[in-house]
Structure 1
Amino acid sequence: DSEATSFTAYSSLSTDSHNYTMQEFALRYFRKSLLLLDQTGGSAKKAAVNLVQYSKVRSQAPIQESLIDLRNDDMSKQAVAGFQVLMQFMGDQSKPRSKDELVLLYELLKLCREEDLRDEMYCQVIKQVTGHPHPEHCALGWSILSLFTGFFAPSTTLMPYVTKFLQDSSPNQELAQNSQENLQRTVKYGGRQQLPPPGEMQAFLKKQAVRLFLIHLPGAVDYRTNIYTFTVAGEVLEELCGQMGITDPQEVQEFALFLIKGEGELVRPLSSHEYLNNVVTDKDMSLHSRRLGWETPLHFDHPTYIETHYSQVLRDYLHGKLMASAQADAQLAQLAALQHLSKASKSPPSEQELLAYIPKPLQWQVNMANIKNLVDQELRQLQGHSSQTAQISFIKATSQLPLFGYTVYMVLRVSKIVLPGPILLGLNHQHLVLMDSSSQKLCCSITLKDLQRVQLLSPLEENGPPGLELNYGSADKPQTIWMELPQAQELQYTIIFLLNSSMTSTQWPGLN
């Protein structure tokens, strides 16, 4: 009776104060019979401390029942077995001959993946790292907790107690700080969920889990960064943008990391919440970054910012994706002169250089003699311009071209549209447009928010390009258009990426 009275009084006090200590959680949610363990007449508060503190294990069955009342005998048995695995991993019990650290680690992760057992496994590890007398054993327990927090968040009931526990522990414990950061990341990005391959976990156990990644930017610029077990694409993108002087979160969202496999058999943008160790799994995979959105005003206050933007725009221009006109000699000459100045060249351009400054689709349509005379005039007028100034001027000049600010694809064939040659497809956060590259005429415009479905189609002909079918419009007036292009799958992924980035839901239903 006195113990019951003490328990009720302390429980009521905890309800009012909301300290969110693990002792408070134990009094609320642990099996009440456990209040008698290790208790020799002390208060319920002292009993609660014992419930969430390491105690020496004297038997092969450290606990007889789950710490939390799971109300399921099978779950309770799994919890008991999990506690023993935890003891074996931490070195508090001898390991079975058939199991090494890696096997035990996966067993613990698989138990924590079970939603009904997740809070139980969190509580078991927290109990065993609290007051553990052997630092090396305790560190192994913390390593497990750092993995739990990075993969699976506890329930909303346990969350404030775990958060408080990590906050109180982190000032003097590096692994506690790591666990706190991992938990914050899991809350923000959803947790890694997918268990890692054995090689990665072996590296984790050996404290060698850091991977050096190269991010390839336009203009042959490479950015080196370290990737950890729970690094997500959004963090790397934010870090990368910071190195270019980009601090506005809205502008950061206009960039994307692209995963490229091999020679381009897979090209897709990565969502900000994707864990990089989950997606970059093969040696022939690489990460590239480029700008997808151009709504934020450009600012030319950082050399890497200028160089990468110039290189991306230049590549699109020279491939004919910005729709310069063969009849606009003055414009072509100005852009050619700026390209030459960007190389900081002191001598006039050669005929071969001059031809290379013209977009490839126009090289045989323009009067090169006239272009040369106009370029010479431009170079005299621009004398004294630095390479960087020329690059900025080039970006500003090309920003007046029809498809500037769009991601552009060359489409070989489109339903409903009959044209003598290929047409250009432009994609940004709001629209998908189709334009005749010869006449610069707008053939079709689809608002992205009107898209209902985007479906990849098999090639219609052997060795032909794949297709993409778009269903859009209202329920009353549904419309369908299909197109053929070599980058159909990349286009599909990019459309989904842009839709997801502008919607509150984490998954747009139109990916097929």
Structure 2
Amino acid sequence: MGDHPSKRNREGNELTDHIFEAPLQHDILRDETYCQLIKQLTGNRNRLSTERGWELIWLATGSFAPSTNLLKEVMLFLRSHSKHSKIAADCVNRLQKTLRNGPRKYPPHQVEVEAVQRNKTQIFHKAYFPDDSSEAFEVESSTRAKDFCQNIADRLKLKSAEGFSLFVKIADKVISVPEGDFFFDFVRHLTDWIKKARPSRDGVTPQFSYLVFFMKKLWTNTVPGKDRNADIIFHYHQELPKLLRGYHKCSTEEAVQLAALIYRVKFGDDSSNLHNISRMLKELVPADLIRKLDPDEWRQAISTSFSRDSGKSPDDAKIGFLKIIYNWRTFGSAFFEVKQTTEQNFPETLLIAINKQGVNLIHPETKEILISYPFTKISNWSSGNTYFHMTIGNLVRGSKLLCETSLGYKMDDLLTSYISLMLTTMNKNRTMRRQ
């Protein structure tokens, strides 16, 4: 609060960490923290000290509540100041939300600390979407990932938030936020983890900025045309790169149809760029199929297909694109290129597709599905910085698959999420049958 000035400057949330880490770990210190803050604010005539004290109370009320023995006194103190102080009134609301939602696991994030220091008790956070658009949403200390997802779904008029997830991109990793986690807790945990993994140089701790993405993660109940906004903003833009990388088994005829629809999404009904198709094949045709026809043949076939759909809007073209891919077993898959040494009958380099059917091993050249492991057959899995390991069937007699990959953490998370959803659905169905 500045009553005893420090001999050195402390940056970021160093001071707030020092204050809040202990009470978050030990319940008994929470009352002590509130008592000390209230004591230092009572009769305090130093304006700067008082302002900083209220900033700390604001952070405290969003982190943990006092015990039931002290709650009444804390509320009386906050309400006695709320008529004349906007921050005190906000502290009352924050404390009520903390009582409902439970305490945080980590001290306030730097974003929260900087917000209250700038006298801003509303924090707006930008979320990015696959169609390259973005919007800002209010995020509170008590906001869990599930709440954030629902707010986005409501704003974008999606029919459901089911299957969608927040993803945080920090350094070279993109990590899904568990729906039950407090948003700022997860980001704080992730930032601390990255900092520990990348130690400071010359005594300077590296600062890591992060971006928040909102995307479809689990494609269990995704049917093109069922949720138009989801198709237009998310499904099309998430599926397009997978097609162009050549991950799906796609015939030349389907590739022509899809290319004409991709062209229509880009240019609408404007046919003036059709003569340039041979130069933009990488943006229209799967990478593994480009050499199947010469550029002029592609141009002629795609132009003919485009003219058949005259008058179709770009948004309708997106849905038409999805309806073709929906018929493939690999629709809605997350693809991973890995190396494996455990299955002698399969190529060393494999394409793994994780989708609602399970884990599918795909030949990297023919795109044939070599084998599919349904989630019910997978008994164990683990991952590290360089590997992903999975056991199929009995832990003792079952087969094992060991993959060399830097994306093991993503495969692990996706498998965990699909199996968790499967078990939740099974339990719901059992309950409904009993009723």
TM-score, scaled to structure 2: 0.73
Q: CA deviation at 1:391?
A: 1.2
Q: Who is 1:95 aligned against?
A: 3
2-structure distance, mates of 1:310, 1:361: 20
Q: Who is 2:430 aligned against?
A: none
Q: Who is 1:77 aligned against?
A: none
1-structure distance, mates of 2:58, 2:51: 10
2-structure distance, mates of 1:162, 1:398: 61
Q: Who is 2:23 aligned against?
A: 112
Q: Who is 1:403 aligned against?
A: 330
Please tell me the residue identity of whatever aligns with 1:287: V
2-structure distance, mates of 1:299, 1:161: 53
Q: Who is 1:255 aligned against?
A: 164
SS in 2 for 1:423: strand
Q: Who is 2:146 aligned against?
A: 234
Q: CA deviation at 1:364?
A: 2.1
Q: Who is 1:483 aligned against?
A: 403
Please tell me the residue identity of whatever aligns with 1:381: R
Q: CA deviation at 1:486?
A: 4.2
Residue 105 of structure 2 corresponds to residue 178 of structure 1: no
User: Identity, % of aligned pairs?
Assistant: 20
Q: Which runs of structure 2 are paired with 1:391-430 in the superposition (5 Å)? A: 391-413=318-340, 415-420=342-347, 422-428=349-355
Q: Which runs of structure 2 are paired with 1:35-434 in the superposition (5 Å)? A: 89=1, 95-98=3-6, 108-110=19-21, 112-113=23-24, 114-122=26-34, 143-155=55-67, 157=68, 172=83, 174-175=86-87, 178-183=90-95, 186=98, 190-196=102-108, 201=113, 204-207=116-119, 213-225=125-137, 231-246=143-158, 248=160, 252-262=161-171, 264=172, 266-272=173-179, 273-276=181-184, 277-278=187-188, 279=190, 282-296=207-221, 297-299=223-225, 306-321=232-247, 323-325=248-250, 328-343=251-266, 344=268, 345-347=270-272, 348-349=274-275, 350-354=277-281, 356-366=283-293, 371-413=298-340, 415-420=342-347, 422-428=349-355, 431-434=358-361
Q: Who is 1:471 aligned against?
A: 391
Cα distance change of structure 1 residues 314 and 127 upon mapping to structure 2, 3 Å threshold: same
2-structure distance, mates of 1:143, 1:391: 49
More relative contact order in 1 or in 2 (CA 8 Å, sep 6+)? 2
Per-residue CA distance 1:182-203 (angstroms, 9 max, x = gap): 4465467653332247796365
Q: CA deviation at 1:221?
A: 2.3
Cα distance change of structure 1 residues 259 and 166 upon mapping to structure 2, 3 Å threshold: farther
Cα distance change of structure 1 residues 142 and 311 upon mapping to structure 2, 3 Å threshold: same
Q: CA deviation at 1:383?
A: 0.8
Q: Structure 1: give runs of 5+ residues left out of the alignment.
A: 1-88, 458-465, 505-512
Q: CA deviation at 1:399?
A: 1.1
Per-residue CA distance 1:425-460 (angstroms, 9 max, x = gap): 122366222233515234131417844341326xxx
Per-residue CA distance 1:377-407 (angstroms, 9 max, x = gap): 3223211111111111111111112211221
Query: Does the 8 Å contact 1:152/1:193 carry over to 2?
Result: no
Query: Does the 8 Å contact 1:310/1:392 carry over to 2?
Result: yes
1-structure distance, mates of 2:77, 2:324: 54
Q: CA deviation at 1:177?
A: 5.2
Q: Which moved more, 1:225-234 or 1:480-489?
A: 225-234
Cα distance change of structure 1 residues 158 and 382 upon mapping to structure 2, 3 Å threshold: farther
Please tell me the residue identity of whatever aligns with 1:415: T
Number of residue pairs aligned between Structure 1 and Structure 2: 394
2-structure distance, mates of 1:187, 1:361: 56
Please tell me the residue identity of whatever aligns with 1:256: S
Larger Rg: 1
Query: Does the 8 Å contact 1:433/1:443 carry over to 2?
Result: yes
SS in 1 for 2:107: coil
Cα distance change of structure 1 residues 190 and 267 upon mapping to structure 2, 3 Å threshold: farther
SS in 1 for 2:90: helix
Cα distance change of structure 1 residues 163 and 112 upon mapping to structure 2, 3 Å threshold: same
Computed over aligned residues only, the root mean square deviation of the Cα atoms, in angstroms, reads: 4.2
2-structure distance, mates of 1:191, 1:181: 15
Q: CA deviation at 1:111?
A: 5.4
TM-score, scaled to structure 1: 0.63
2-structure distance, mates of 1:386, 1:453: 45
Q: Who is 1:447 aligned against?
A: 375
Q: Structure 2: give runs of 5+ residues left out of the alignment.
A: 193-206, 425-435
Q: CA deviation at 1:324?
A: 3.0
Query: Does the 8 Å contact 2:158/2:230 carry over to 1?
Result: no
Query: Does the 8 Å contact 2:224/2:231 carry over to 1?
Result: no
SS in 1 for 2:332: coil
SS in 2 for 1:306: helix
Q: CA deviation at 1:413?
A: 2.9
